[in-house]
Amino acid sequence: MNSDFTLAIHSLTYLALQPDRMSTSDAISESAGVHPVRIRKVLSLLKKHEFIKSKEGTGGGFIFALDLNKVNLWDIYKITSEGALKPKCPESNHKCIVGANMQSVLCSIFLGAEEHLGEYLKDYTMKEVVNLVSKRL
């Protein structure tokens, strides 16, 4: 899993808590404590996959575009981190039974782990994340 996943959830939660107004990437980056360029990269990805809409110019910014109940954390994981659990194996000795097979064995195991993670993340919608954050305000 990479930080784009957590930044995407942070950004969407920030936008969801302000449903009636546009939010700037600078405001979101300040909330997340990261450089605006990092947030813009994530926002671009979210926009490409139609989670958010944007408007340029004065009064512009970003706004959540979907029903919070219909976006789950697995949806976000797939666009930000899919395959991130795949092990990074060094170049092995392919004449050795272990070296020749370790990468495919580990990839198979971690692919299964990612499938289990997906089933777990599907149980959490953005509505639930927003509610959990709101309870702590």
Average pLDDT of span 22-50: 96
What does the alpha-carbon distance between residue 23 and residue 14 come to, in Å, rounded to a whole number? 8
What average pLDDT is seen over the chain? 91
pLDDT computed for residue 91 by the predictor: 82
Q: Residues 116, 77: contact at Cβ < 8 Å?
A: no
Backbone angles phi, psi at 54, to 5 degrees: -135, 160
Residue 21 CB neighbours (<10 A): 9
What pLDDT digit, counting tens, does each position of 61-73 carry? 999 999 999 999 9
Element (H, E) at 61: strand 61-64
pLDDT number for residue 83: 76
- Express each pLDDT in 29-42 by its tens digit: 999 999 999 999 99
Indicate the pLDDT class of residue 101, thresholds 50, 70 and 90: confident
pLDDT band per the 50, 70, 90 thresholds, residue 137:
low
Q: The pTM is what?
A: 0.85
Q: What is the pLDDT of residue 84?
A: 77
pLDDT digits (tens, 9 = 90+) for 74-94: 999 999 988 777 777 778 888
